[in-house]
Structure 1
Amino acid sequence: MVESLEPLVVRHTHRLPSPTGPAGEGEVAARQFDAALMSVGFKLSAPLLRHLSGLSEDTVVDTAVRTLRTVREMVGDHVEHNVYFVDFPANVPDTFDFWMRCITEALDDSKARPGVLEQLRQGVVNLLTLPSYGRYQHTYAELLAAHDELIAAAGDRMTVLHLGGALDDEVTGLYLALAGSATPLGEEGLSDLKALAGHCASGPQPEAIPVRENRAVVNEARLKVGADLLLDTVTDVLRLACALSGGDVTLQEPTRFRALSRPVRRALLAGLDGVVGAAEAKLADVHAHREEFKRLGERLHPHEYPRWPHAAEVFAVARGELTARSFDSRVEELLGAGDVVAAATLLKSAPGKLLRALDRLLRTAAGEEEREAVVAAVEEVVGSVAGRVVLSVREHLHNRADEPGHRRVFINRMGRAWVAAEDRPSLPAPERDRLIAALDAETRRRLPAPGHLLVDPDVLDVALPLSGKATAAGLGVLPRGSVSPVDGELLRFFVYWKQTERTTDYDLSALMLGADYETVSWLSYTNLSAVDGEHSGDIVDAPEGASEFINLRLGAVQGTFIVPQVNLFSGEGFEEVEESFFGFMLRDGEQKGRPFEARTVRMKSELRGPGRVALPLAFLRGEDGRWRAKWLHLYLKGTPTSNRVEGNRVSVATLLRGIVEREQLTVRYLTELMADATTGTTVWDGTSVPDGPVTYIGLERPDGLHPDSRIVTLENLRDLIPD
């Protein structure tokens, strides 16, 4: 069982659990393993290579087979990436000429000719009815034969795999890290936590599980092994019931509750009874999810268990038969009466709610005295607020500066985004500055003394991962709002999808915008080539999987912004297809190679969102002429079908402007706070590392760090967020 969890460790930590087996002469096999990894942009660390060299050849080969399968999937090399135009990016035709060629070929086809002639008489031809349009005209083997081998370049990606500990220790460590995360996990993280929790439920547990969704997943595993449940609100029980029914523990989507066994029903009812019995006021939490509790009550049959009367009260509140006044209603009543001071005083008993209501309280306050009461309340209880809330409010206050034309960007937990003009009154500068100082001081107090701080400068502009839902699963993916340098002559986007049942057509496009966010040009299936790049050709059906690419020469791009997007034209959505992912590669001009080359991939992210238009990231040209990536992880609602880049230019430009104007809290912010307590700070130059223990913060872990060092990379960046 534990062996099946090894890929999770590799994906999350870039460590290979220490392979075990008989000693032997495995050096040759280990070097062959290393060479195979390098072909897909990975490499064994020196200690891992030495360890494998001392094992038997069979052990090394078995380890290589498993690991190569995992890393190829991480980078998107586990599928065959074919393209419509076999010579892409060379010999991509003019769009109109290509369409006319498809029509000519259809007229030469006796089966297709009558239908095409009828369409021509009507003056409109549907490209999807042409036999040679949108379907591969050559095999993958023929594609490979048409391209020269990739020439190695110093800029190719090389991700190092490090030697881990024993498999059980690595699995337990990963479980404790995910379960005890101070920030919510993304969809993949929750799924991985569920697999780990099933194995680790009887072993060591984190000191605390602050994120409620994580607690639900852990409780499901604990219930199965008969361990005590971790419950302190009635909503914890509701989330657990959702987990047991295979539903959404975030409570964003409705769950259809399954029939539950008697032991499970007893456990849930006992949990509800214990929570309410200890604090009757927690019945008020039922109001936020009344309908869900009603449906759960139909499955639990609380009337059959009179020994748990408090559990029955939960469902009585849900049905409206019992009154339980909510905390929020009391706050609203005070604010409705204009009593801001009383509202702030009441909110001190719920410090997180106080900080979330801070902007409204300051705007509602009648004068300096009331604003002083609000600020004083925050200063009194800020030490009891979760670290990610402290940082979120700090970021919010920074972006509440009074700037003309400022835009508000709204992004929900599913990645849906929209923009509105800022119509709220500005916050008074003295109170705003005082609050920022208080939040900075509280964050500094919670940060551990780092000792010697070693920082990779490339990580400084990475946004703090205040929620795992702001980062898609994948390789080399940064949190929403991060900025990272782009170095290379050729930028190539790719999308891959494989439909589940229905014919599905995704369209990769790239929109180029000017400095004022006006449209300059675009590349898509309706505009296959331009002075700055080429499109690989439209694929309209993916029963065996399909890929599309866009190749851009960065020096020739006329605009200031490049916005790649994936438009759902028809068929299954991003959450319905069997698989879908997006990424980009960087190459030097003379590298040649196939359309997809794993070691040139800089980022590969899963496409799993609720909208019909995916916006993974954008590229910005700075005043220095250099390009940088701005990470978005957004989904537009779009239209049910036929989404095209031409139809969403305005909405994309408006959204991008709002995102670019908003400033994120980044790793730089925390390292500057840490610097006050360090014994020294070194900016890593990419070569030598200090001899003693350090706190290292960077994109990837370098070789040679002292074994007692604390290491924070992209894989565990959430560990920077203080509790």
Structure 2
Amino acid sequence: MDRSLESLVVRHTHRLPRPSEPAGSSVRGDVVARQFDAALMSVGFKLSAELLEHLSGLSADTVAATAERTLDTVRKMVGDHVRHNVYFVDFPANVPDTLDFWRDCIVKALADESVRPKILAQLSSGVVNLLTLPSYGRYQHSYAEMLAAHDELIAAGGDRVTVLHLGGELADEVGGLYRALAGSTTPLGDEHLADLAILAGICADGPQPEAIPVRENRAVVNRARLEAGAGLLLDTVTDVLRLACALSDGDVTLQEPTRFRALSRPARRALLAGLDSVVADAPGKLADVPVHREAFKRLGERLHPHEYPRWPHAAEVFAVARGERKAPSFDRRVEELLGADDVAGAAELLKGAPGRLFRSLDRLLRTCGAQEERDAVVAAAEAVAPEVSARVLLSVREHLHNRAEETGRRRVFINRLGRAWVTDDLRAPVPAAERERLIAALDAEIRRRLPDPGQLLVDPDVLDVALPLSGRATAAGLGVLPRGSLSPVEGELLRFFVYWKQRRRDTDYDLSALMLDDDYATVCWLSYTNLTEVEGEHSGDITEAPHGASEFINLRLGAVRGTFVVPQVNLYSGEGFEEVEESFFGFMLREGEQKGRPFEPRTVRMKSELRGPGRVALPLAFLRGADGRWRAKWLHLYLRGTPTSNRVEGNQVSVATLLRGIVEREQLTVRYLTELMAGGAVTAWDGEEVPDHPVTYIGLQRPEGLHPDSRIVTLENLRDMIPG
């Protein structure tokens, strides 16, 4: 368990918990520590000076054991824990023309007596199925033979270096990470939520965060507290429903139905007692039951409330769910007022639910018929703004920024699973005066909540990173930025990669890259149907992955015709992204003369897990600016696609339409919050002069040498920028 916890801390914080030293050790580990550092550098990581010094003072055995564990962790973080083979052994060199390659595969098949009759029959019909050709889609050489075909990578100054820092004792690091995840002001992604469940099981009896504002996090923590016999954190009936979902390993977000398991008597008693206490303290909270009526009905079948007459208020919950007792929902009361054209009355009612009021502002302002009503809506929002979570304030601020008066914009919808669609925005504009008044009020309230940064040091590369208003807008992985972020791309060669390993049946993923012009029209693409273009080369199609498979696309950025490059992973056949044993996407950047293997871990800039519901994955896009420089635009999106045979040729229009909608939308970024903190424009820090006093540092990676009492925000804890 200690090993898995140490790995979890390294993944989340890029800190290595302080290794424990067994008694009786004598041989110093300075030599092994330097070897450890060199091994890390081969995969793009490095020990900080402080960590290297600390390890050098430990025994050689301790350092060697630490190195083995840590190298396993970071190799998996960057995608180097698997063997990345390619179909064309010396890719990107000598990739053949697509039609020539297919013809050669047919010629080889005709030379094979076992399949020749089948191929001749296909040729007579005029159509040959490539998947029936013995040499197509399957590796024709071993991994060792592929390695022998490539020169060593030449080191370059632009290679990625991720620094690992010295942490505290393992127990302290685990407790700190638990409190950071549990107390997050924004929802966590699925991987982080699963990690929180592990940590909560260990830390349920220890120090807790001051508050657990995100309901999904609270459900996960409550499950651990219930199992540990600790008190539950419940203040709504929905909290109890989420806890029941957690106990059944269901969806604590309540977006998908949960099949409730048979619960133990202690668990049933705890849930019923929780419901009884919530309703006894605030009977009006029964109004939340109709929102999840069916889920409460199914839960009641498992809890048997009639067996526990001492908790009569819990029974009321299920009476409402069954329709035996009336409890008009809050939303219904609002709709009745709006149906009566009483917008001011609806705004006044919504003041009792400040978050819902802010989420309804656009609709309310568009519904108003008179200036008095608009004034009433804005005044209601200004009055309750201090009671609204910062995440909601920031979401509404971003929404209003993109609701300028001009019409004809596209409206992009993205659900929590990353599935996206676009439609024309047919809504009337938000009145300009009220929009500006609300934006000013939001800025003032957000500024009020931000801490005094003292001296603020900011890495310029972090300024265009989108604020992580939800962990579900960021895939798990290394170097991954929230959806909508922009980051610079430096290098001559851009190389995408995808890896997947099937679980039960043959699975074929196809890596493709679509090039679009200024008007989002197709220029060309690279895929298994078009192996070479002026821009670059495709590594060849792999059609099954019982032991894992990789595909690559190599692009010369200077040769790209067009303005946008959109890599995508298409599911052609087999298991979906959530079914396979493992799947991930990433990209590397290289200088022109670096050579090296198709996959070189220290050139990897980003590696993200592919775990989405669609059949076409769009991790990010690359945009060429007016200055000729390239930047990455982070998408983390999934298209529904077709059940099988998804290809880049078939989704050109949908991808272009979606990309236009994303590119034209402006995100709230780190720049916005830092300017509020600084009271104006932010001066970027060049890293040259390191202050000897505590500072607030915001950047992509933690620099060395900062005062130990400094507040440091990096990609690993970027959510900490969102105030409570």
Aligned to 2:480: 477
Shift of 1:344: 0.4
Shift of 1:682: 4.8
Identity across matched positions, percent: 80
Deviation by residue 1:531-582 (Cα, 9 ceiling, x = unmatched): 1100000001011110000000000000100000000001111011110000
Aligned to 2:694: 693
Deviation by residue 1:621-650 (Cα, 9 ceiling, x = unmatched): 000000000000000000111000000000
Aligned to 1:11: 11
Rounded Cα–Cα distance in structure 2 between residues aligned with 1:108 and 1:16: 57
Contact 1:399 1:662 in 2 (8 A): yes
Contact 1:492 1:586 in 2 (8 A): yes
Rounded Cα–Cα distance in structure 2 between residues aligned with 1:426 and 1:238: 38
Aligned to 1:672: 675
Moved more, 243-252 or 215-224: 243-252
TM-score (norm 2): 0.99
Aligned to 2:562: 559
Rounded Cα–Cα distance in structure 2 between residues aligned with 1:170 and 1:351: 36
- 1:142 lines up with 2:148 in the alignment: no
- 1:185 lines up with 2:195 in the alignment: no
Aligned to 1:276: 279
Query: How many pairs were matched up?
Result: 721
Moved more, 297-306 or 541-550: 297-306
Q: Which amino acid aligns with 1:512?
A: M
Deviation by residue 1:85-132 (Cα, 9 ceiling, x = unmatched): 001000101101111111111111111111111111111111111111
Deviation by residue 1:379-421 (Cα, 9 ceiling, x = unmatched): 1000000000000000000000122421111111110111111
Matches within 5 A, 1:511-530: 511-530=514-533
Aligned to 1:382: 385
Rounded Cα–Cα distance in structure 2 between residues aligned with 1:456 and 1:331: 46
What SS does structure 1 have at the residue aligned with 2:290?
helix
Rounded Cα–Cα distance in structure 2 between residues aligned with 1:146 and 1:286: 65
Deviation by residue 1:155-203 (Cα, 9 ceiling, x = unmatched): 0000000000111000000000000000000010001000100100010
**CA shift in 2, pair 1:298/1:347, >3 Å:** same
- 1:207 lines up with 2:242 in the alignment: no
Shift of 1:681: 6.3
Q: Which amino acid aligns with 2:121?
A: E
Rounded Cα–Cα distance in structure 2 between residues aligned with 1:67 and 1:601: 18
Moved more, 227-236 or 245-254: 245-254
Aligned to 1:57: 60
Q: Which amino acid aligns with 1:719?
A: D
Rounded Cα–Cα distance in structure 1 between residues aligned with 2:276 and 2:112: 73
Structure 1 moving runs of 4+ over 6 Å? none
Q: Which amino acid aligns with 1:14?
A: H
CA RMSD of aligned residues (A): 1.0
Rounded Cα–Cα distance in structure 2 between residues aligned with 1:501 and 1:713: 39
Pick from 443, 461, 466 the counterpart of residue 463 of structure 1: 466
Pick from 33, 39, 48 the counterpart of residue 45 of structure 1: 48
- 1:291 lines up with 2:294 in the alignment: yes
Q: Which amino acid aligns with 1:19?
A: P
Shift of 1:335: 0.3
What SS does structure 1 have at the residue aligned with 2:488?
strand
Matches within 5 A, 1:8-407: 8-22=8-22, 24-407=27-410
Aligned to 1:584: 587
Rounded Cα–Cα distance in structure 2 between residues aligned with 1:702 and 1:498: 36
What SS does structure 2 have at the residue aligned with 1:451?
coil
Rounded Cα–Cα distance in structure 2 between residues aligned with 1:467 and 1:94: 44
What SS does structure 2 have at the residue aligned with 1:593?
coil
Q: Which amino acid aligns with 1:413?
A: R
Rounded Cα–Cα distance in structure 2 between residues aligned with 1:598 and 1:399: 39
What SS does structure 2 have at the residue aligned with 1:568?
strand
Rounded Cα–Cα distance in structure 2 between residues aligned with 1:361 and 1:2: 53
Shift of 1:688: 2.9
What SS does structure 1 have at the residue aligned with 2:537?
strand
Rounded Cα–Cα distance in structure 2 between residues aligned with 1:682 and 1:361: 39
Contact 1:2 1:199 in 2 (8 A): no
Rounded Cα–Cα distance in structure 1 between residues aligned with 2:370 and 2:340: 16
Deviation by residue 1:302-355 (Cα, 9 ceiling, x = unmatched): 111111111111112111111111110000000011000000000001100000
Shift of 1:654: 0.3
Aligned to 1:446: 449
Shift of 1:274: 1.0
Aligned to 2:511: 508
Rounded Cα–Cα distance in structure 2 between residues aligned with 1:682 and 1:517: 35
Contact 1:25 1:56 in 2 (8 A): yes
Rounded Cα–Cα distance in structure 1 between residues aligned with 2:160 and 2:329: 54
Rounded Cα–Cα distance in structure 2 between residues aligned with 1:698 and 1:18: 24
Structure 2 unmatched runs, 5+: none
- 1:702 lines up with 2:685 in the alignment: no
Deviation by residue 1:422-447 (Cα, 9 ceiling, x = unmatched): 11111111111000000000000000
Shift of 1:272: 1.0
Deviation by residue 1:11-60 (Cα, 9 ceiling, x = unmatched): 01000011120564110000000000000000000000000000000000
Aligned to 1:599: 602
What SS does structure 2 have at the residue aligned with 1:683?
coil
Deviation by residue 1:121-147 (Cα, 9 ceiling, x = unmatched): 111111111111001011101111110
Contact 1:452 1:681 in 2 (8 A): no
